[in-house]
Amino acid sequence: MKRRAFLTGAGSVAIGLPFLESLQDRSAWAAETNPVFTLFIVGQNGVVNKNFFPSATGALSTASLGASPDIATSVLAPHAANLLFLKGINYANPGPRSCGHAEGCVQTLTGLAPGSTGNTAYAAGPSADTLIAKALGTQDPIALYSGAKGFIAERISFKGAGAGQVRAADVNPYLLYSKVVGLAGGGTTTPGTGTPMVDPIAQELANRRKSVNDLVRGELNSLKSLPVLSSADKMRLDQHFQAIRDIEVNMGNTGNMGGMGPSCSKEGLPVDQYEAFKTGFAFKGAQMEEYVKLHMQIMAVAFACNYNRVATLQWGDGTDGTKYDVPSNAGLGWTFHQLSHRVQSDSATGNNPTAENAHHEIDIIRMKTLLVGLDAFKAHGLENNAQVIWTNTIADGPSHSTRGVPMIVSPRF
């Protein structure tokens, strides 16, 4: 009975530990072959192709990429040696049949022509993230979203072919943050709010940064003082708690875990920004890029902790209505979707050169946001263990063509 009580007590503390739940299953970094993680990032409205990639082909370097500031991807120069730029990718359908944005979305990660047309187009088969998760035998992929779920909502991650197979995506960055740092309380939510319920033990550990040893040291000492315990049992207890201490120390090391794995740590995360979205979250277009940064930064931690192996991030509604504060849009005041059409319309197509310049300026802003994500993956020791793949649902805005879609891959295995 005493043994059962001890095991139950120790188990409750272990479950409350951030990053340590189901540790045996998640500790992939001790394997002979390090795991590979995959994050697919899918943007909207195309890019200004002539000013997006360098014109010359060949190896990238920090110096060569940074030497062309008029190229949107030049801001990625710090990671140049680890990047692969791909041009000329063609989707199954060359252009729109009804709604090019939604139809482009469903082709992006499936490689298949859409199973239907219009703004509710669905896929003709599973997406790449679903296939990867199935091949690995892991849980369902993580699906994230930054945008207003309006005319075209999530259309990136599909469980299979047909209507109803699209995977729902989380808009609030706090949702994944709360799960990864161990504050989700078993997945339950506070009644009436939908906010993840905080487990009190996990909250105490997170707030006070105390190890499980510190939390129960008094109980441990009392247990070790029991006369019924043999010296061998006392030794086992010491070894058990030392093992937990070693795990915590390794998780706290920035980046390397002895050069073999990543940093499963909250270090570097803007915790206050996540906590600000704990309650009352509502998507605001003006904060589009901040949401994307938060999604990517917490994904770096999720992968480093082996929380999941594959994820998707849809960057904007299919007809992204964000109004970007860029110089060329100051006199226009158009939405991103309208700028991509080169006319103040969500259906017609024009050739306004100022709108094109504004689109290019937005491309630069978005590449700066991607840079924050790549920096986070590197900071958590994932530079060579996590495949970050950025692409778009269409090649360019005015034509809605899916011929020559751009793609960025990091690292270039």
Domain of 333, CATH number, reads 3.40.720
* Same-domain check for residues 256 and 271: no
Burial of 138 (0-12, 13-18, 19+ CB in 10 A): middle
Contact by Cβ (8 Å): 106, 115:
yes
pLDDT at 204: 52
* Higher pLDDT, residue 60 or 28: 60
Mean pLDDT, rounded, for 377-384: 90
Q: Is 230 helix (H, G, I), strand (E, B) or coil?
A: coil
Residue 194 lies in a domain: no
pLDDT at 385: 86
pLDDT band at 139 (very low <50, low <70, confident <90, very high): confident
Ordered alpha helix ranges (H), 143-270: 173-180, 200-208, 212-215, 217-224, 231-252
* Same-domain check for residues 220 and 274: no
pLDDT at 72: 98
State how many domains the chain has: 2
* Same-domain check for residues 99 and 150: yes
| Dihedral angle, C-alpha 267, 270, 271, 275, nearest 10 ° | -160
The answer, yes or no, to whether residue 404 has pLDDT greater than 90, is yes
* Same-domain check for residues 324 and 308: yes
The answer, yes or no, to whether residue 347 has pLDDT greater than 50, is yes
Mean pLDDT, rounded, for 59-72: 94
The answer, yes or no, to whether residue 343 has pLDDT greater than 80, is yes
* Same-domain check for residues 281 and 387: yes
pLDDT at 5: 36
26 is in which domain, residue-wise? Answer: 1-32+210-261
Residue 203 lies in a domain: no
* Higher pLDDT, residue 182 or 324: 324
The answer, yes or no, to whether residue 337 has pLDDT greater than 80, is yes
Could you give the C-alpha distances from 320 to 36, 150, 273, 338, 368, in angstroms and in order? 31, 9, 24, 9, 18
Mean confidence (pLDDT) of the chain: 82
Looking at the chain, the whole-number percentage of residues with pLDDT higher than 90 is 57
How is residue 346 written in tokens?
A: 């969500």
pLDDT at 209: 47
* Same-domain check for residues 389 and 312: yes
pLDDT tens for 22-50 read 333 344 454 446 678 999 999 999 999 99
The answer, yes or no, to whether residue 111 has pLDDT greater than 60, is yes
pLDDT at 215: 63
Mean pLDDT, rounded, for 107-132: 94
Residue 361 lies in a domain: yes
pLDDT tens for 167-197 read 999 999 999 998 887 643 344 455 555 555 5
* Same-domain check for residues 219 and 279: no
* Same-domain check for residues 42 and 141: yes
Mean pLDDT, rounded, for 185-213: 51
* Same-domain check for residues 356 and 273: yes
pLDDT at 413: 65
pLDDT at 267: 81
| Cα 86 off chain centre by | 21
DSSP letters, 46-67, are ---GGGTS-SS-S---HHHHHT
The answer, yes or no, to whether residue 363 has pLDDT greater than 70, is yes
* Higher pLDDT, residue 158 or 307: 158
Looking at the chain, the whole-number percentage of residues with pLDDT higher than 70 is 77
Residue 204 lies in a domain: no
The length of the chain in residues reads 413
Q: Is 174 helix (H, G, I), strand (E, B) or coil?
A: helix
Mean pLDDT, rounded, for 264-277: 89
Residue 156 lies in a domain: yes
Mean pLDDT, rounded, for 73-96: 93
Residue 131 lies in a domain: yes
pLDDT at 197: 55
pLDDT at 371: 98
* Same-domain check for residues 62 and 150: yes
Residue 130 lies in a domain: yes
Q: 144 has which bridge partners?
A: 170, 313
* Same-domain check for residues 4 and 86: no
How is residue 354 written in tokens?
A: 């100022």
Last residue of a domain, which of 261, 282, 303? Answer: 261
Residue 39 lies in a domain: yes
Last residue of a domain, which of 219, 244, 261? Answer: 261
Mean pLDDT, rounded, for 201-228: 63
Contact by Cβ (8 Å): 70, 399:
no
Cis peptide, bond prior to residue 327, ω within 30 of zero: no
Among 249-263, 296-310, 359-373, name the one with the lowest average pLDDT. Answer: 249-263
* Same-domain check for residues 243 and 347: no
Could you give the C-alpha distances from 125 to 3, 131, 160, 165, 312, in angstroms and in order? 52, 10, 5, 9, 16
The answer, yes or no, to whether residue 1 has pLDDT greater than 60, is no
